[in-house]
Amino acid sequence: MSRISIHGEWSSRMAFIMAATGSAVGLGNIWKFPYMTGQYGGGAFVITYLLCIAILCLPVMMAEVMLGKRGRSSPINTMRHLAQENNQSKLWRLLGWSGVIAGFLILSYYSVIAGWALAYIPSLASGTFTAVNTMSPTEITGFVDSVFKSLVENPVQLTAWHTGFIFITMLMVAGGVKGGLERAVTFMMPALFILLLVLVGYAISTPNFMQGFNFMFNINFNDLLYPNCTEAVCKFSGEGLLAAMGQAFFSLSLGMGAIMVYGAYLPKDASVSKVTTAVVVADTSVAILAGLIIFPIVFSNGLEPNAGVGLVFKTLPIAFGQMPFGTLFGTLFFVLLVLAALSSSISLIEPAVAWLVETGKFTRASASVVSGIIVWLIGLITVFSFNIWSDVKPLAGLNLFELINYLTSNIMLPLIGLLIAVFVGWLMQKSTIAEELNLSANSIGYHIWYFLLRYVTPLGVGIVFLNAIGVFS
């Protein structure tokens, strides 16, 4: 069965690789991966993350791209078409809806964090943080905290930056597959990698580069398996394992509908396995490079790697304020952060835009505006969770931002990935799968992928998830 995307196609396989890499490479790699690595002890988190990428996520990503390539439409209509084609329940279209909803929720807070990065660009460029050179350690901490708090505790200012980021995203998406998405990533991805390499070069020159390197790659599983451990109480927990798995799904944009809809625009003759592997390698490389940039700078300036969500925004400006050419490198770093965020945000909103266009009631421009307004409104929940609603903690002591972040990254994405593995591995026809993958059903690579998708991924995701929610405690 041959379908044609009404939205157009990528001009080449390389265009898809750049777009999908742009979707995957974002705040998850440059903001979230380093702070979670610091929070869960370094090397043990990194190696667990890499294993999750290779064993759990790569098979799911191939499956998600293949679903999009077969369905040639938004995730919602793709799952509706494929459920019908394979004589399965209509309820499978809810899998498409789940991805779109997850993408909306993630983009709603993603945009707010990206707004922080936008706000820091003029601050770094104007030399605001060079003032730390004349301060004592206590004064420096208070100064940087005050800068960060003045941003996040001001709902008007935070809303303005959030609005600006969503507006830029809508403009890019409204341009279409080739005129908007492809043109944007063709510029942003090379620029992002050049900036990364420049900053890695600087990190290598810092006095504590090897300490940062060793922190990332020396493996001690105690901090991963026994988080929040005190001398009195050290209790095993699956929290760190779930965090590593959730980060792996988050950093590759799996379960958000983004990879599925990008797969819908993939040229028919493209090899799903080759382009997917290229995306995974590029995305994982960026996460590792981000860590190699941040941790040497952190250690070289006597900062704490486990600073949490504020690692990038509350510790790095201190380092950039003290280092030679810090104004330049600090500005470049936050420009890099914004470019990475934009390359992901356009993919997160695209599934909803594609579906609205497919209803026949919206042009691409109007669909982009409607989707952007909805995301903007949901994003106000995150904006207010840092200020006027900061005391609202509806579950497990988490504020509204933390709750949305936890539910999407650690629950929705792994479970959606699990359902993708079940649908492709157990319900789709093998001949259809082999055709779309452009692989022989008798090849060794096909059998390895099929085994991982059918057995290892569901079992691995299921065990880690059930352990983390306390089923085995």
Residue 3 maps to a domain? no
CATH of the domain at 203: 1.10.4160
Residue 55 maps to a domain? yes
* pLDDT tens per residue, range 85-102: 999 999 999 999 999 999
Q: For residues 341-371, b (16+ Cβ closer than 10 Å) or e, as one string? A: bbbbbbbbbbbbbbbbbbeeebebbebbbeb
- Residue 224 is predicted with a pLDDT of 72
Residue 6 maps to a domain? no
- Residue 233 is predicted with a pLDDT of 56
Average pLDDT, the chain: 86
- The two tokens of residue 255 are 């379960």
344-367 average pLDDT score: 93
Residue 248, CB-side half-sphere exposure with 13 Å CA sphere: 29
Number of domains comprising the chain: 1
Sequence-distant (≥ 6) Cβ neighbours of residue 380 within 8 angstroms: 159, 162
Give percent above pLDDT 90 in the chain: 42
Is 270 or 401 the better-scoring residue by pLDDT?
Answer: 401
* pLDDT tens per residue, range 444-472: 888 899 999 999 988 888 876 776 565 54
User: Which sign, positive or negative, has the C-alpha torsion 53, 59, 61, 62?
Assistant: positive
Residue 1 maps to a domain? no
Residue 7 maps to a domain? no
The residue type of 116 is W
Residue 450 maps to a domain? yes
| DSSP one-letter string for 291-317 | HHHHHHHHHHTT--TT-GGGIIIIIHH
Lowest-confidence region among 187-191, 200-204, 262-266, 381-385: 187-191
- The two tokens of residue 335 are 């420009």
- What residues make up the domain containing 356? 13-468
CA distance readout (Å), 21 to 17, 45, 263, 316: 6, 22, 12, 25
Q: For residues 31-49, b (16+ Cβ closer than 10 Å) or e, as one string? A: bbbbbbbbbbbbbbbbbbb
Is 233 or 84 the better-scoring residue by pLDDT?
Answer: 84
- The two tokens of residue 241 are 């394992």
- Residue 376 is predicted with a pLDDT of 97
CB 342 within 8 A of CB 25: no
- Residue 62 is predicted with a pLDDT of 95
Q: Is residue 231 over pLDDT 70?
A: no
- Residue 470 is predicted with a pLDDT of 56
- The two tokens of residue 325 are 């050419």
Is 2 or 83 the better-scoring residue by pLDDT?
Answer: 83
- Residue 472 is predicted with a pLDDT of 45
Residue 4 maps to a domain? no
Sequence-distant (≥ 6) Cβ neighbours of residue 171 within 8 angstroms: 180
Helical segments of 386-429, H only:
400-406, 413-422
Residue 8 maps to a domain? no
- Residue 170 is predicted with a pLDDT of 93
Query: What angle is formed at CA 275 by the lines to CA 273 and CA 278, rounded to 5 degrees?
Result: 105
Residue 264's pLDDT band, with cuts at 50, 70 and 90, is very high
CB 279 within 8 A of CB 25: no
